[in-house]
Amino acid sequence: MNPAERVLRARLAAYTLHSKYDARETTAAARAAFMDRFEREVDPDGQLSLEERQRRATAARKAYFTRLALRSAQERRARSATRSTGR
């Protein structure tokens, strides 16, 4: 199977799955585990109230994605500079 066929098969499987089930249900456990990561990061000893832990975890998650966006922008800029200089 070539890469293009593999992509099409994966897309078909995803569309079939999402036609049968709500995506929020199929990804709920993964999303909860991802958020738990940030809750443990901001309150490793479990000392904060639930509301404060969730508030801080949300901020930590936003920082995480902002950090990814910054790195992505820096990489794109570096690739663009490399292409324009021909190196």
Q: Which residues contact 53 (CB under 8 A, 6 or more apart)?
A: 39, 42, 43, 46
pTM strictly above 0.75: no
Q: What share of the chain is helix, strand, coil (3-state, %, to 5)?
A: 85, 0, 15
Indicate whether 82 pLDDT > 90: no
Per-residue model confidence (pLDDT) at position 62: 98
pLDDT digits (tens, 9 = 90+) for 48-79: 999 999 999 999 999 999 999 999 999 999 99
Helices 50-85, 28-42: inter-axial angle, 10-degree rounding? 100
Per-residue model confidence (pLDDT) at position 87: 61
Contact 38, 55 (CB under 8 A): no
Locate the domains of the chain by residue range.
Answer: 22-85
Mean pLDDT of 2-6: 95
